[in-house]
Amino acid sequence: MIDTYRHKGLRKKLVEDIRSKGIRDEDVLAAIEKIPRHLFLDSSFVEFAYQDKPFPIGSGQTISQPYTVAFQTELLEVKKGDKVLEIGTGSGYQACVLIEMGARVFSVERHHALFVRTKELLARLQYSPRLFYGDGYKGLPAFEPFDKVLVTAAAPTIPEALKQQLKPGGMLVVPVGKGQTQTMKRLTKKEEDIFIEEDFGYFRFVPMLHDKAR
């Protein structure tokens, strides 16, 4: 768990890179500057950790590209104390970004091996989101309602349960689409069953799958 000056220097460059691509939220940029992303990848890939690229994390999954993490987080307009549900824990990196921004994070992962590995890693890094092994299509009914919900896998359509589990005034950010690329959508819940829907361009995510996997 080593974080050197070289890593810190590479992170500063990464932050300038994603700033130049249009990310403006200083809290998001500060979180990315702080979190040692190289520790979320296998140690043999340290040189890739601070390029603005997605990367395989095992179990056929990927850690999202830093720009995409920043973009989704910015759309979510995270405020200190927000109760945030993330679908697709993956490496845990996005959950740590949300924690650095002061959110209380609940995150669900359907892949058991990944869930176990990430739980151990985050404990070692002393980040403590509430992590759940389960099917994100169902949300977390025992812990609703949430201020914000963030889906980090491609949903074929907007999952109903996640809309329901939002507080009035809450926001859901989700990449939606059945093909190779998805449209980034933000839903703002005005009141029960009334949502404003906005689109924010095209992205590419691994698919959101049904049910749990070993």
Is residue 121 at the binding interface for ligand SAH, with CB under 6 A as the rule? no
Whole-number minimum distance, CB 24 to ligand SAH, in Å? 21
Q: Are the C-beta atoms of residues 55 and 143 closer than 8 Å to each other?
A: no
Catalytic residues, by residue number, are 64
Q: If DSSP states are collapsed to H, E and C, what string results for 17-45?
A: HHHHCCCCCHHHHHHHHHCCHHHHCCHHH
Q: CB-wise, 50 or 93, nearer to ligand SAH?
A: 93
Residue 202 corresponds to which tokens in the numbers above?
């095209």
Q: Which stretch binds ligand SAH (CB under 6 A): 7-15, 129-137, 171-179, 188-196?
A: 129-137
99 touches ligand SAH by CB under 6 A? no
Q: Is 97 helix (H, G, I), strand (E, B) or coil?
A: helix
Query: Is 63 a binder of ligand SAH (CB under 6 A)?
Result: yes
Quick one: DSSP state of residue 133? E
Q: Which is nearer to ligand SAH, 88 or 170 (CB)?
A: 88
> Which CB sits closer to ligand SAH, 64 or 182?
64
65 binds ligand SAH (CB under 6 A): no
The residue count of the chain comes to 214
The verdict on 174 binding ligand SAH (CB under 6 A) reads: no
Please, are residues 35 and 93 in contact by the beta-carbon 8 Å criterion?
yes
Q: Which residues contact 57 (CB under 8 A, 6 or more apart)?
A: 40, 41, 63, 90, 91, 114
For ligand SAH, the binding residues (CB under 6 A) are 61-64, 87-88, 90-91, 93-94, 108-111, 114, 135-137, 152-153, 206, 208-209
